Amino acid sequence: MTGASMLRIDNVSAGYEGFQALFGVSLEVSAGESVAVIGPNGAGKTTLLRAISKLIDVTDGDISMEGRSLKSVPAHEVIGYGVAQVPENRRLFPRLTVEDNLKMGGFLPSARAKYAEHLAYVYSLFPRMKERRHQQAGTLSGGEQQMCAIGRALMSGPKLLLLDEPSAGLAPVVVQSIFEMVKRICSEGYTVLIVEQNIRQVLKVVDRAYLLETGRIKQSGAAAELLASSEIRKAYLGI
- Residue 222 sits in a domain whose CATH number is 3.40.50.300
In which domain, by residue range, is 232 found? Answer: 33-53+76-236
Is 209 part of any domain?
Answer: yes
- pTM equals 0.91
In a domain, 27, yes or no: no
Ramachandran region of residue 209, left (φ > 0), alpha (ψ -120 to 50) or beta? Answer: beta
Evaluate whether residue 71 is within a structural domain. no
223 in a domain, yes or no?
Answer: yes
Q: Is 203 helix (H, G, I), strand (E, B) or coil?
A: coil
In a domain? residue 176: yes
Q: What is the pLDDT of residue 239?
A: 60
Q: pLDDT digits over 195-213, tens only? A: 998 898 899 999 999 999 9
Give residue 67's pLDDT.
95
Residue 25 lies in a domain: no
Domain count, the chain: 1
Residue 69 covered by a domain: no
Strands (E), the chain: 5-16, 19-30, 34-38, 58-65, 68-69, 83-86, 160-164, 191-196, 208-213, 216-222
Q: Which residues of the chain have pLDDT under 70?
A: 1-3, 238-239
pLDDT, position 1: 44
